[in-house]
Structure 1
Amino acid sequence: MLNLITHDAIIEINLARPPVNALNVDLLRALRDAVDNAVASGARGIVLSGQPGMYSAGVDVPSLLGRDRDGVRDFWREFFQTASTLAMSPIPIVAAITGHSPAGGAVLSLFCDYRVMAEGPFKIGLNEVQVGLVVPESIQMALRRIVGAYRAERLMVAGAMIESGEALAVGLVDELTNVEQVVTRAVVWMQGMLALPSNAMLKTRAIARADLTAIWAHPEALPMDGFLDAYFHPETQAVLEKLVARLKKKD
């Protein structure tokens, strides 16, 4: 599910769950463990990459649909814990967005320090509303701190998926390059960070990210019941069932 690649003091965690790196419980747990292990092993930076053309298609909806409330709660608990692990990482993380990155894939990138995306007709966005899901405040806040309050509202309420060029223009990503160079550019950016005086860089980073870490330090305390109520709303279930039906026709 993951490929681990060493670039000197930088560990690349490459998502490798064909065909689209959909996020299920096993992949989320593996990602969380990989981040923790990288930190414990002395890595000074992490690059989180996907496959050429696809970073992550987000939540594995077919595996989620049909679960009872406890099963759905277990999944979202894993998702929020993984987001927390990224947000709370004591070392910098770069998202190497190697292609399309809807919904959960885009969410993971919000907790990274920097985002390099493949240029071209690749799309990114929090399109949860389009599939009937509510974007919780803890994730809305993560987007607001990157693109600003008004732009975040417009993107999330519409469930907009935007191409890489627009994503750069609004600040959702920091840099574009051709798809073959995304990881290379992510590593180069990280090398620049690691060339800085470490104590000053890391402590300044911690201060700058204090708003994010204050919310995500205790993911188990995030309000879950309201989110679950919205997930099980009849409208949401109907939209998700239609989505899964479309996906099955493509197979």
Structure 2
Amino acid sequence: MALAAARRVLLCSGVRLGRSATVIRGGNGARTFANQRVLVELDAAAGTAIMKFKNPPVNSLSLDFLTEFVISLEKLENDKTFRGVILTSDHPGIFSAGLDLTEMCGKNPAHYAEYWKAVQELWLRLYLSNMTLVAAINGASPAGGCLIALCSDYRILANNPKYSIGLNETLLGIVAPFWFKDTLVNTIGHRASEHALQLGLLFQPAEALQVGLVDKVVPEDQVQSEALSVMTQWLAIPEHARQLTKHMMRKPTTDQLIKQREADIQHFVSFISRDSIQKSLCMYLEKLKQKKG
């Protein structure tokens, strides 16, 4: 429902899906398309795009952001001009703070179900995308932000001790779902994942590189250029062979969610609706509001 509604809104606002997409041409000749929370810069000659998250203040994965993100990705996948996408933040300092807790606090079960389905959709689309995805991580990346990075084919992290990355759900009193866990295990192995998930570890750049959570750590001002360099290397591989190999490696993981997608939604709704969980989340949100105040 969310995707269908968002498509109607985009069409009504003059942004068309597919190859006929309305684009904006900047002063330097760059082509972009944008909605409220995602900016996409296009380089048709190189066959690449840069998707920038712009959902201030912390690029949280709200329902609206998730919907717009998936639509933007779908638009690129439907246009065979583009073979690679760099995922990054329009707000250096924060890649994404992860799931939007306001979507999970004080709402009704129908809303929780819609929200979780959108989170699932984001993961399925990213993890099995035929395009090469490079994460240019230019800020902190906890929880759902880390998940987006893990879905990429290659991850580059800025060398700033403030830019930690990891699945820290247990610190908030919630549990990372099995498909978050599987994605992490596929990346850093079972024992390291078990340790990280139970303790809700957030890794600083050198630690993230050592454990294999990211592939490269570079100075902050080199993240974008390194991402473009890596993308060139990946796009030099015969596309069909690379796509089939990616599919072979990742499809068994996505199949596990697809087989039990509805059960996973119901499990989330049941868990998040518990009085104890609601109390914990709402207290945490209140503390965040007080800090901002």
Give the TM-score normalised by structure 2. Answer: 0.81
Q: Is 1:243 matched with 2:284?
A: yes
Note the residue ranges of structure 1 that are not aligned, 5 or more in a row: none
RMSD (Å), alpha carbons: 1.7
Q: Which amino acid aligns with 1:46?
A: V
Q: Which amino acid aligns with 2:118?
A: E
Decide whether aligned partners of structure 1 residues 250 and 120 sit closer, same or farther in structure 2, where only a CA change above 3 A counts: same
* Matched residue, 1:26: 64
Note the residue ranges of structure 2 that are not aligned, 5 or more in a row: 1-36
Match of 2:100 among 46, 49, 60: 60
Q: Is 1:3 matched with 2:42?
A: no
Larger Rg: 2
CA distance, structure 2, for counterparts of residue 137 and residue 209 of structure 1: 15
Q: Which amino acid aligns with 1:151?
A: A
CA distance, structure 2, for counterparts of residue 225 and residue 200 of structure 1: 37
CA contact (8 A) 2:67 2:118 kept: yes
What is the CA deviation profile of residues 28-64 of structure 1, one whole-angstrom value per residue up to 9, with x for unaligned ones? 0111011111111121011111121110011121243
Q: Is 1:152 matched with 2:184?
A: no
Q: Which amino acid aligns with 2:78?
A: A
Decide whether aligned partners of structure 1 residues 168 and 219 sit closer, same or farther in structure 2, where only a CA change above 3 A counts: farther
Decide whether aligned partners of structure 1 residues 182 and 112 sit closer, same or farther in structure 2, where only a CA change above 3 A counts: same
CA distance, structure 2, for counterparts of residue 140 and residue 39 of structure 1: 26
Q: Which amino acid aligns with 1:5?
A: E
Match of 2:76 among 24, 34, 38: 38
Decide whether aligned partners of structure 1 residues 32 and 160 sit closer, same or farther in structure 2, where only a CA change above 3 A counts: same
CA distance, structure 1, for counterparts of residue 268 and residue 62 of structure 2: 18
CA contact (8 A) 1:99 1:179 kept: no
Match of 1:16 among 36, 54, 67: 54
Match of 1:118 among 152, 158, 169: 158
Could you say which structure has the greater relative contact order, defined with CA pairs below 8 angstroms and 6 or more residues apart? 1
Match of 1:141 among 175, 182, 196: 182
Aligned length: 251
Q: Give percent identity, aligned residues only.
A: 29
Match of 1:226 among 259, 263, 267: 267
CA positional deviation for 1:182: 1.5
CA distance, structure 2, for counterparts of residue 193 and residue 159 of structure 1: 32
What is the CA deviation profile of residues 151-200 of structure 1, one whole-angstrom value per residue up to 9, with x for unaligned ones? 10111111111211111110011111122222221221111011122232
CA distance, structure 1, for counterparts of residue 206 and residue 61 of structure 2: 25
CA positional deviation for 1:132: 1.4
CA contact (8 A) 2:116 2:268 kept: no
CA contact (8 A) 1:10 1:46 kept: yes
Match of 2:203 among 129, 143, 162: 162
Q: Which amino acid aligns with 1:45?
A: G
Give the TM-score normalised by structure 1. Answer: 0.94
- Superposed, 1:167-246 pairs within 5 Å as 167-217=208-258, 220-221=261-262, 223-246=264-287
